[in-house]
Structure 1
Amino acid sequence: MPHTIVLGAGITGVTTAHSLLKRGHQVTLVEKHRYPAMETSFANGGQLSASNAEVWNQWQTVWKGLTWVLKRDAPLLLNLSPSWHKYSWLFEFLNNISGYRRNTIATVDLALRARTKLLEIADEYEIDFDLERRGILHVYYDRAGFERAGAVNNLLRQGGLDRWPVTNEEIRTIEPALGAEFYGGFYTPSDATGDIHKFTRSLAKICERQGARFYFDRAVIDIEASGRSVKASASAVGAPHSTAEVLEADNIVICAGVASRTIGARLGDRVNIYPVKGYSITVHLDDQDSQGGAPEVSLLDDRAKIVTSRLGLDRFRVAGTAEFNGTNKDIRTDRIKPLVDWTRTLFPSVATARVVPWSGLRPMMPNMLPKIGRGKRPGVYYNTGHGHLGWTLSCATSEIVADLIVASGARP
Structure 2
Amino acid sequence: MKTIAVIGGGITGVTTAYALAKRGFAVTLFERHRYAAMETSFANGGQLSASNAEVWTHWSTILKGIQWMLKSDAPLLVNPAPTWHKLSWFAEFIAAMPHYERNTVETARLAVAARQHLFAWAQEEGIDFDLKKEGILHIYRDKQGFDHAGRVSALLAQGGLPRRAVTPEEMKAIEPTLAGDYYGGYFTESDSTGDIHKFTHGLAEAAERLGVKTLYGQDVKTVSSDGQQAIITVAGDDGSLVHTFDGMVVCAGVASRDFAAQLGDRVNIYPVKGYSITVNLNDEKSQAGAPNVSLLDDETKLVTSRLGLNRFRVAGTAEFNGVNRDIRADRIRPLIEWVEQCFPKIDTRSVVPWAGLRPMMPNMMPRVGPGRKANVFYNTGHGHLGWTLSAVTADVVASEVQARKSELKVSQVLQMV
Q: Given the two structures, how large is their TM-score scaled by the length of structure 1? A: 0.98
Moved over 6 A (4+): none
Superposition map of 1:4-403 within 5 A: 4-236=4-236, 239=237, 243-403=239-399
Distance 2:253 2:222 in 1: 17
SS at match of 2:101: helix
Deviation of residue 231 (structure 1)? Answer: 1.4
Distance 1:347 1:116 in 2: 33
Distance 1:377 1:159 in 2: 32
Deviation of residue 325 (structure 1)? Answer: 0.2
Amino acid at match of 2:162: D
Distance 1:306 1:82 in 2: 27
Deviation of residue 227 (structure 1)? Answer: 3.3
Match 1:407 to one of 393, 397, 403: 403
SS at match of 2:61: helix
Distance 2:94 2:280 in 1: 40
Amino acid at match of 2:211: G
The 1:144–1:252 alpha-carbon spacing in structure 2 relative to 1, beyond 3 Å, is same
Distance 2:184 2:115 in 1: 26
SS at match of 2:231: strand
SS at match of 1:378: coil
Distance 2:223 2:126 in 1: 37
Distance 1:224 1:321 in 2: 36
Distance 1:339 1:226 in 2: 48
SS at match of 2:268: coil
Deviation of residue 150 (structure 1)? Answer: 0.5
Tell me if structure 1 keeps the 8 A contact 2:15–2:394. Answer: yes
Distance 2:337 2:368 in 1: 38
Amino acid at match of 1:234: V
Amino acid at match of 1:41: S
Distance 1:152 1:221 in 2: 42
Amino acid at match of 1:40: T
Amino acid at match of 2:10: G
Give the fraction of aligned pairs with identical amino acids, expressed as a percent. Answer: 58
Amino acid at match of 1:341: E
Aligned to 2:3: 3
Distance 1:406 1:209 in 2: 21
Q: Which runs of 5+ in 2 are unaligned?
A: 413-417
Aligned residues: 408
Distance 2:343 2:111 in 1: 30
Distance 2:169 2:210 in 1: 50
SS at match of 1:222: strand
Tell me if structure 1 keeps the 8 A contact 2:8–2:251. Answer: yes
SS at match of 2:315: strand
Distance 2:284 2:386 in 1: 33
SS at match of 1:244: strand
Amino acid at match of 2:405: G
SS at match of 1:300: strand
CA-based RMSD:
1.0
Q: Which runs of 5+ in 1 are unaligned?
A: none
Q: Given the two structures, how large is their TM-score scaled by the length of structure 2? A: 0.96
Deviation of residue 224 (structure 1)? Answer: 2.3
Tell me if structure 1 keeps the 8 A contact 2:228–2:247. Answer: no
Distance 1:215 1:3 in 2: 15
